[in-house]
A = this chain, B = another copy of it.
């Protein structure tokens, strides 16, 4: 439990790679080959990051991705939520159909844990954890 997904792992790897190669345009194939990451998954992951302007994409041959200035100042919480949705240790806070709604005695504890984790991730940027 409390594991990140491969998607997030791949995104972290890609972002660090892009940061270390800011002068050139890096394609999905490049990163995929360098770290042994399935191409299509990495592609879709970078597409998500591109639509949030964390990276910038360039189509066509010689195309690829580039880090943007936004990367460094992006918080872990933003980063995770772009890729995986709301930060919460239980689904019931964002979906309907919570099993225990009428006899639930852990709403407060769960909320406190959620708040603590969100607070932690909101105060850590990608720059912070990189160095």
When distances are taken between beta carbons in the complex, the residues of chain B under 8 Å from A16 are 105-106, 109
Residue numbers of A with Cβ under 8 A of B are 1-5, 8-9, 12-13, 16-17, 20, 34-36, 76, 80, 84, 87-91, 99-100, 103-106, 108-110, 112-113, 116-117, 120, 124, 126, 128-131
User: How far apart are the CA atoms of A8 and B113 in the complex, in Å?
Assistant: 13
Q: Give this chain's copy count.
A: 2
Q: Is the CB of B2 within 8 A of A76?
A: no
- Interface of chain A, main secondary structure: helix
When distances are taken between beta carbons in the complex, the residues of chain B under 8 Å from A109 are 12, 16, 126, 129-130
Q: What is the CB-to-nearest-CB distance from A120 to chain B, in angstroms, rounded to a whole number?
A: 6
